[in-house]
Chain A
Amino acid sequence: MQTPMTTSYQQPTARGYYGEFGGAFIPEMLYPNVEELRTQYLEILADPDFQMELQHLLRDYVGRPTPLFEAKRLSERYGTRVFLKREDLCHTGAHKINNTVGQILLAKRLGKKRIIAETGAGQHGVATATVCALMGYPCVVYMGATDIERQAPNVARMRLLGAEVRAVTSGSQTLKDATNEAIRDWIANPVDTHYIIGSVVGPHPYPDLVARLQAVISEEMRYQLLEKTGSELPNFVVACVGGGSNAAGAFYHFLDEPSVRLIAVEAAGHGINSGHSAATSVLGTPGIIHGSRTLLMQDEHGQITEPYSLSAGLDYPGIGPLHAHLGASGRAEFISITDDEALKAVSECSRLEGIIPALETAHALSALGQLGAGPNDVVVVNLSGRGDKDLETYLKNMDKLV
C-alpha cells in the first residue's frame, strides 16, 4: 500500500508553523534543549536502526497492529458502517504509548539520562513510566494535585512502575500547570534530561514529533480498510481532541486525501456557553500556550483560563497547532459533545459492542449521531483508550449511563 507523500498539511514549515499556528515561543533557557531536538529528530526518526527497534517494540511490547473492528451493532444503530480502531488494546490501555516508546528511543540516542513528563488523567504518565521502566530510566511525572486526587489508580500504577509522581500545587493544579512545571524542570536540567511531552502541543518540533509517532494509527487503518472494505479511504475519521495526539495519529495519513472527512470532537463540558467547557475551537482565540501559537482559552487580557470537562484527558486550555490549522483551513470539522452525551455513549458502546471506552473516547463515539453518514459510508472512530481508569466516574454517574 502507498501512503501519501509528505505535504503541507502533514509537514510544518522549518520553524514549525502549520499555517499561522505553531512556532517555538520559548525562553532562552529552553532554546538549547529544543534546538538539539529540532536539529536531530528527523534524522533519528529516519535512521534504520531506530526504526527497527521502534517497530520491534511496537509489535512485541505495545501489541501493534491494533485491530480495526467492524462494530456491527453500532453500525445498525447509526445506519452506517462503523469501524473501531482499537487503540484501547495497546499496552497500558491507550494510544499514548505509541509516542512514549518512540520518544524513549529518541532520548537514548540523544544521550539523555533522565526522563520527565506531564500528565492530566494519568494515561501519558503511565505510558511514560512504563517505557522508563522498560529502558531503565529514572522518571519524574508532574501531575496537578487536583488530578492526583481524581486519578488515584493511575498514580498508583506510575509509582508501581518506579516513577516519581510530583504533585503540582501552582495555578489551577491540573494539566496546564503540570506542563508548566515539567517545562521548569527542563529549564533546571538542561543537559541530561529529555522531556516526553504527551500530546501534539508545545514548541516545535514537539507537535510534529508526536504526530509522526502517532501516525502509525492511520498508517495501519489504510491497509486494514483496504482489506475489509476494498478501499484504503473511509468517508469519515472521527477522534476526540484535548491536545489532540490521538486525532493527529488517526488523521495523519488522510490529511491529504480530501475525500476523507476528518471529524475532531471536543469536550463541551456542561455546554459550550455554560462557562464550564473545554471546546477550544469554539471558545479559544489565537495566542501562545506552552511555547506554541495556537487556539487557547484565555480572557480579554491574555491570561489563560481553566477549561472544564468531566474527562481529565480533554480539559486542556489549548489544542495542538496542527488542529488549529485544520480547523481554520476547514480541512477538519469540529464537533463538541457534553459530559452527559459522552456518558450516554459510554453505556451505548459498552452494551452494543462489549467495549467499555475511556470517557475521552466516548466523546468521539457520541459524534456518530451527528455525522449524517449514510448506509454505504465507512466511518472509522479512533477508540483511543479503554474505560478502566474511569470506572469511578462511571459509578458516580450510573443514573446517566443506564
Chain B
Amino acid sequence: MDRIKHAFASKQNLLNMYFTAGFPSLHDTLPLAKALVGAGADILEIGMPFSDPLADGPVIQRSSSAALANGMNLPVLFGQLQKLRAAVPETPVLLMGYLNPVLQFGMEAFLKKAAEVGVDGLILPDLPLDEYEEMYHPLFQKYGLKAVFLVTPQTSEARIRRLDALSDAFLYLVSGPGTTGGTTLPDVEAQREYFERIAAMNLTTPRLIGFGIANKTGFDQACEYADGAIIGSALIQSLEGTADASAAATRFVQGIKN
C-alpha cells in the first residue's frame, strides 16, 4: 500500500510534522511519533541529525547538536524504528536529512533499512537532482521509497515540471527565502504570487508548504494554496526544556488542528 498516496487521496489540509530524532532525549523518537499522530498529524518527517545542517535555522541546528550529543546516529535510529509500525501503523513517515551521513552508512544499505522498518519516503535536500535521476532513482524504486523534492520561489518553471515528473510523493514548497524556522515576516504579496503561480501549473504531484509556518494561522493560510503544510521549528521550540515531550507535542498539534 502506498501510504503517501493514500493520505493525499483520502484527506485534505494535511499536517506534516517534523521533529529531530533523538531530541529532546535519545529515546523520544517513537513516543513523539505516537503523540503527534495521536493528536492529528497526518504525515511524519523524522529528521536525521547532522553536524552541519545547511538549510536549517538556529532551532533545528540546536536540536540536531543536542540529538548528536545524546548519542543519535543512523544505527541507533534504525534500531528505534524497528517498532515504528507498531507505534504508527498507517501514517506516512519520511526520513529527512543531509546526504553525508547517508553516504557513510551506504546509500543502498540505508534504503534497504528504511524500507524494512516501514519508512515511506525520503527528503535529502542536498542530493543533486541529476545524481538522483542517474544513480539513485532505480535504487529508490527497488526498495519502494518515494523521493520528496524542494521547490523555492526562484525555481524555474521548467525545473518545477521536471521535479513534478520525477516525484512520486509530494513537492515541498519552501515558503520564501531563508532557512527553516525563519522569523522575518514574509513578503505576503510575493508569496501569494508564488503560490498562485504554482497552483496554476496543474502539477500532478500534491504540494505541501513548509518553512516559517509556526501556528494555526500560518497552517490555514498554507492550506489555501496547497494540500497542506509542514511544521518543524515551532514544534522543536515547544519541546525545548520540557519535561514531558509527548505531552508538549500533543498540545502543539491540537493547537494547529483545532
Asked if B221 is an interface residue, CB under 8 A from chain A, the answer is no
Asked if A287 is an interface residue, CB under 8 A from chain B, the answer is yes
Nearest B-chain residue to A191, judged by Cβ: B154
Let me know if B103 and A287 touch, CB within 8 A.
yes
Let me know if A304 and B51 touch, CB within 8 A.
yes
Residue-wise interface mask of A (19-49) relative to B, using a CB-CB cutoff of 8 A (1 in contact, 0 not): 0000111111101110000000000000000
Asked if B241 is an interface residue, CB under 8 A from chain A, the answer is no
Q: Which of B7-15, B57-65, B114-122, B223-231 contacts A (4 or more CB under 8 A)?
A: B57-65
Let me know if A170 and B104 touch, CB within 8 A.
no
Residue-wise interface mask of A (161-202) relative to B, using a CB-CB cutoff of 8 A (1 in contact, 0 not): 000000000110000110010011001111100000000000
Let me know if B128 and A24 touch, CB within 8 A.
yes
What's the nearest-Cβ distance from chain B to residue A135, in Å?
24
Let me know if B99 and A301 touch, CB within 8 A.
no
Let me know if A302 and B103 touch, CB within 8 A.
yes
Let me know if B178 and A187 touch, CB within 8 A.
yes
Cα A195 to Cα B103 with chains together (Å): 27
Residues of B within 8 A of A176 (CB): 52
What's the nearest-Cβ distance from chain A to residue B213, in Å?
16
Residues of A within 8 A of B127 (CB): 25
Residues of A within 8 A of B40 (CB): none
Residues of B within 8 A of A304 (CB): 51-52, 100
Q: Which of B26-34, B84-92, B145-153 contacts A (4 or more CB under 8 A)?
A: B145-153
Cα A188 to Cα B181 with chains together (Å): 12
Known contacts: A23-B131, A26-B126, A28-B150. The answer to whether A302 contacts B105 by CB under 8 A is yes
Asked if B177 is an interface residue, CB under 8 A from chain A, the answer is yes
Which of B74, B100, B126, B184 has the most chain A CB within a 10 Å cutoff? B100
Let me know if A26 and B128 touch, CB within 8 A.
yes
Asked if B19 is an interface residue, CB under 8 A from chain A, the answer is no
Residues of B within 8 A of A302 (CB): 50, 100-105
Cα A191 to Cα B61 with chains together (Å): 25
Asked if A15 is an interface residue, CB under 8 A from chain B, the answer is yes
Known contacts: A300-B104, A301-B104. The answer to whether A25 contacts B128 by CB under 8 A is yes
Cα A27 to Cα B184 with chains together (Å): 20
Asked if B73 is an interface residue, CB under 8 A from chain A, the answer is yes
Let me know if B103 and A187 touch, CB within 8 A.
no
Asked if A291 is an interface residue, CB under 8 A from chain B, the answer is yes
Asked if A288 is an interface residue, CB under 8 A from chain B, the answer is yes
What's the nearest-Cβ distance from chain A to residue B211, in Å?
9
Known contacts: A171-B51, A187-B177, A301-B74. The answer to whether A28 contacts B152 by CB under 8 A is yes
Residues of A within 8 A of B125 (CB): 27-28
Residue-wise interface mask of B (66-81) relative to A, using a CB-CB cutoff of 8 A (1 in contact, 0 not): 0010000111000000
Residue-wise interface mask of A (107-137) relative to B, using a CB-CB cutoff of 8 A (1 in contact, 0 not): 0000000000000000000000000000000
Asked if B174 is an interface residue, CB under 8 A from chain A, the answer is yes
Residues of A within 8 A of B165 (CB): none
What's the nearest-Cβ distance from chain B to residue A185, in Å?
9
Known contacts: A28-B155, A287-B104, A302-B102. The answer to whether A187 contacts B126 by CB under 8 A is no
Let me know if A170 and B74 touch, CB within 8 A.
no
Neighbour of B54 across the interface among A27, A191, A300, A305, CB < 8 A? A27
Neighbour of B55 across the interface among A187, A191, A290, CB < 8 A? A187
> Can you list 29 contacts pairing A with B, beta carbon distance less than 8 Å?
A25-B126, A26-B128, A27-B125, A28-B150, A29-B154, A29-B179, A31-B152, A31-B159, A171-B65, A184-B54, A184-B179, A187-B55, A187-B179, A191-B154, A288-B99, A301-B74, A301-B75, A301-B104, A302-B100, A302-B101, A302-B102, A302-B103, A302-B105, A303-B50, A303-B68, A303-B73, A303-B101, A304-B100, A305-B51
Contacts A31-B152, A287-B104, A301-B73 known; list 16 others, CB within 8 Å: A15-B130, A23-B128, A25-B127, A27-B126, A31-B154, A32-B156, A33-B154, A180-B54, A188-B182, A190-B152, A290-B52, A301-B74, A301-B104, A301-B105, A303-B101, A305-B51
Which residues of chain B have a CB within 8 Å of any CB of chain A? 50-52, 54-55, 57-58, 61, 65, 68, 73-75, 98-105, 125-128, 130-131, 149-152, 154-156, 159, 174, 177-179, 182, 184
Which residues of chain A have a CB within 8 Å of any CB of chain B? 15, 23-29, 31-33, 170-171, 176-177, 180, 183-184, 187-191, 287-291, 298, 300-305
8 closest residue pairs by CB, A with B: A302-B104, A302-B101, A27-B125, A28-B150, A32-B154, A301-B73, A303-B51, A188-B178
